[in-house]
């Protein structure tokens, strides 16, 4: 009996001890839970990268030049060598005209040149004849004059006067012959000029391309009567319409806020969705004047098109660089806090986590800002950790538990000035998903 009593007492003691131990453990764990650790903070690492601010604009291509090819002379088309879509080069024959009356005129001018040449030959012979006659008569007069002076009264005065008159008359004949020769020379010049003029008109019957390009329309066929392009009648049709498509113009309406970034010679990226290709263009001219209604400035970009892949009228989206910073310190925009000083001035600040995981508030100088990243010009170093959000919850020197979030080091931030979407169905499908 006594033995059973001791067993019961021992069992009760064990139970009491177990209860006491469990109570102490529960109290200790509650105390641990009552003393929480430092608050968590989402941070990003300061990195080196680049930030591009770009403006996206939409435009429509047009040929560098478009001209109507008219003939210089009126006539019938004897043969036409080109049609729509043909690529031609400067000086290449496009069509040949038939002008019968022009051939007759050319024949007449050739005859005029030959007649003028005969006139010159006749005048030259006349000059020689007049000079020979003058030489003989002048010699006779000189002999009579010398004899009369040596032996006065030997030669009658009447005979001396007749000889002098013939001498002077023959001298005048020489001058007249030379004047006739000069007139014949001038006549030759006129004949040759007329011949050259008609020959040039004859050459105009061969209609050639004034520049490299593509035939975008043909207005006439073989046998058609084509009027001269020198007429003032605007209804006269040309033979063909020629477009210089090896170099395309792209006109862009640049909004007023971005006009200051437009500079001659700057390169732009041109995306043509219809071709699924990108090209490089160059800003070559702008109006330097804003449209009062749209508040935009017309800007032209030249895009090389040697393979003629770009057609007139195609739409394109242009990426124009506004600002660029390369190899700079970048942080997320959300890490920057605008602090108001007592004097109402503003200062950009960031909350930096030091090596001991304490918060340090620093003033920073911010450069270019994108949509996600900002350039930091001073106040931070590469590798620093900055709080991304909720900075108002933290205080200077406060201990935190940092949680690093991966962020990009570089960004291209587009500023939309108008984009043409050539694949709206695909975008709608993506949105529905």
Q: Note the pLDDT of residue 19.
A: 54
Whole-angstrom Cα distance, residue 176 to residue 161? 23
Q: What is the pLDDT of residue 23?
A: 52
219 and 85 share one domain: yes
**What is the β-pairing status of strands 75-80 and 315-332?**
unpaired
More confident residue, 430 or 212: 212
Domain boundary among 238, 256, 283: 238
| Residues spanned by the domain of 379 | 42-51+327-416
Whether 218 and 361 map to the same domain: the answer is: no
Report the mean per-residue pLDDT for the chain: 84
Both 88 and 211 in a single domain? yes
Number of domain units in the chain: 3
Q: Is the pLDDT of residue 305 over 60?
A: yes
Q: What is the pLDDT of residue 32?
A: 43
CA proximity to 74, closest of 215, 216, 238: 238
Q: How confident is the model at residue 429 (pLDDT cuts 50, 70, 90)?
A: very low
Query: Residues 59-69: what's their mean pLDDT?
Result: 93
* pLDDT of 315 above 60: yes
Q: What is the pTM of this model?
A: 0.62
Q: Identify the pLDDT of residue 431.
A: 43
Q: Do residues 175 and 225 both lie within one domain?
A: no
pLDDT greater than 90 at residue 233: no
Whether the pLDDT of residue 416 is over 70: the answer is: no
Residue 94 main-chain phi, psi, to 5 deg = -95, -40
- Name 130's bridge partners: none
309 belongs to a structural domain: no
Last residue in a domain, options 218, 238, 258: 238
**What pLDDT was estimated at residue 30?**
43
Look up residue 431 and give its two tokens: 């949105």
Radius of gyration of the chain (CA): 51
Count other Cβ atoms within 10 Å, centred on residue 8: 9
Residues 222 and 350 in one domain: no
Q: Would 177 be classed as within a structural domain?
A: yes
Output 284 or 168, whichever has higher pLDDT. 284
Is position 269 within any domain? no
Is 50 exceeded by the pLDDT of residue 340? yes
214 and 87 assigned to the same domain: yes
d(CA 358, CA 352): 8
Could you tell me if residue 367 is inside a domain?
Answer: yes
* Among the listed residues 214, 210, 132, the one whose alpha carbon sits nearest the alpha carbon of residue 174: 132
In this predicted structure, the answer to whether residue 402 has a pLDDT above a threshold of 80 is yes
- Give the range among 97-106, 115-124, 403-412 with minimum mean pLDDT: 97-106
Indicate if 210 and 342 belong to the same structural domain: no
Measured between alpha carbons, how far is 288 from 254 in angstroms, rounded to an integer?
11
Is residue 94 within 8 Å of 80, Cβ to Cβ? yes
Look at residue 277 in the predicted model and tell me its pLDDT: 93
3-class DSSP state of 236: coil
Q: What is the DSSP letter of 358?
A: B
DSSP letter assigned to residue 257: G
Model confidence pLDDT, tens digit, residues 186-229: 888 888 888 888 788 888 889 999 999 999 999 999 988 888 87
Q: Which has the closest alpha carbon to 70: 252, 164, 266, 204?
A: 204
pLDDT confidence bin for 167, thresholds 50/70/90: confident
Residues 217 and 194 in one domain: no
pLDDT given for residue 88 in this prediction = 94
82 belongs to a structural domain: yes
Q: Which of 356, 349, 357, 332 is nearest to 392 (CA)?
A: 349
Residue 364's nearest CA partner among 373, 351, 353, 354 is 351
Do 95 and 209 sit in the same domain of this protein? yes
DSSP labels, 121-136? HHHHHHHHHHHHHHHH
- A 10 A CB-CB count for 155 gives 18
pLDDT above 80 (res 328)? yes
Question: Is residue 105 located within the same domain as residue 196?
Answer: yes
Give the pLDDT confidence of 108-149 residue by residue, as tens digits.
888 888 888 888 888 888 888 888 888 888 888 788 778 777
In a domain, 353, yes or no: yes
Q: Are 335 and 44 in contact (CB under 8 A)?
A: yes
Any domain includes 245: no
Helix axes 157-203, 100-150, angle to 10 degrees: 160
> Same domain, yes or no, for 344 and 412?
yes
Phi-psi region of 72 (alpha: psi -120 to 50; beta: other; left: phi over 0): alpha
Band of the pLDDT at 33, cuts 50, 70, 90?
Answer: very low
The backbone torsions φ and ψ at residue 373, rounded to the nearest 5 degrees and listed phi first, read: -115, 160
Residue 216 resides in a domain = yes
Same domain, residue pair 353 and 402: yes
Q: What is the pLDDT confidence band of residue 160, given thresholds at 50, 70 and 90? A: confident
More confident residue, 304 or 420: 304
Strand partners, 93: 208
Is the CB of residue 418 less than 8 Å from the CB of residue 299?
A: no
103: Cβ contacts below 8 Å, ≥ 6 apart? 202
pLDDT at 242 over 70: yes
Amino acid 207: pLDDT: 93
Distance CA 288, CA 250 (A): 17
The CATH number covering residue 336 comes to 2.40.420.20
- Residues 331, 46: contact at Cβ < 8 Å? yes
pLDDT digits (tens, 9 = 90+) for 368-383: 888 899 999 999 999 9
What is the domain-level CATH number for residue 93?
A: 2.40.50.100
* CB neighbour list of residue 205: distance below 8 Å, 6 or more residues apart: 71, 73, 75, 96, 97, 98, 99, 102
């Amino acid at each position: 009996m006594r033995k059973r009593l001791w067993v019961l007492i021992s069992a009760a003691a064990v139970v009491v001890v177990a209860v006491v131990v469990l109570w102490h453990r529960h109290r200790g764990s509650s105390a641990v839970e009552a003393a929480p650790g430092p608050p968590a903070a989402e941070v990003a690492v300061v990195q080196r990268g680049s930030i591009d601010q770009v403006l996206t604009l939409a435009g429509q291509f047009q040929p560098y030049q478009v001209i109507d090819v008219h003939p210089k002379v009126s006539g019938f088309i004897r043969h036409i060598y080109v049609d729509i879509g043909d690529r031609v080069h400067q000086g290449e024959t496009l069509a040949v005209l038939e002008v019968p009356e022009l051939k007759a005129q050319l024949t007449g001018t050739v005859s005029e040149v030959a007649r003028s040449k005969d006139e010159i030959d006749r005048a030259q012979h006349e000059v020689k004849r007049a000079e020979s006659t003058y030489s003989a008569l002048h010699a006779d007069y000189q002999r009579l004059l010398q004899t009369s002076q040596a032996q006065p009264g030997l030669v009658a005065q009447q005979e001396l006067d007749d000889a002098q008159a013939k001498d002077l008359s023959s001298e005048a004949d020489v001058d007249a012959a030379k004047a006739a020769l000069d007139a014949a020379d001038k006549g030759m010049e006129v004949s040759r000029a007329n011949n050259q003029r008609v020959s040039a008109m004859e050459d105009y019957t061969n209609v050639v391309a004034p520049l490299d390009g593509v035939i975008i329309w043909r207005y006439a066929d073989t046998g058609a009567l084509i009027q001269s392009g020198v007429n003032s009648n605007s209804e006269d049709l040309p033979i063909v319409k020629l477009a210089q498509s090896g170099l395309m113009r792209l006109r862009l309406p640049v909004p007023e806020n971005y006009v200051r970034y437009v500079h001659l010679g700057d390169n732009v990226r041109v995306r043509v969705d219809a071709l699924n290709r990108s090209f490089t263009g160059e800003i070559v001219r702008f109006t330097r004047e804003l449209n009062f209604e749209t508040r935009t400035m017309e800007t032209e970009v030249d895009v090389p098109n040697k393979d003629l892949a770009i057609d007139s009228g195609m739409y394109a989206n242009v990426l124009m660089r506004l600002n660029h910073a390369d190899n700079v310190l970048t942080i997320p925009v959300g890490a920057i806090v605008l602090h108001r000083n007592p004097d109402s001035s503003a200062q950009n600040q960031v909350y930096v986590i030091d090596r001991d995981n304490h918060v340090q508030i620093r003033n920073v100088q911010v450069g270019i800002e994108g949509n996600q990243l900002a350039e930091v010009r001073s106040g931070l170093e590469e590798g620093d950790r900055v709080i991304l959000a909720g900075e108002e919850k933290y205080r200077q020197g406060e201990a935190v538990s940092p949680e690093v979030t991966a962020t990009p080091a570089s960004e291209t931030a587009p500023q939309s000035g108008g984009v043409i979407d050539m694949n709206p169905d695909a975008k709608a499908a993506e949105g529905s998903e």
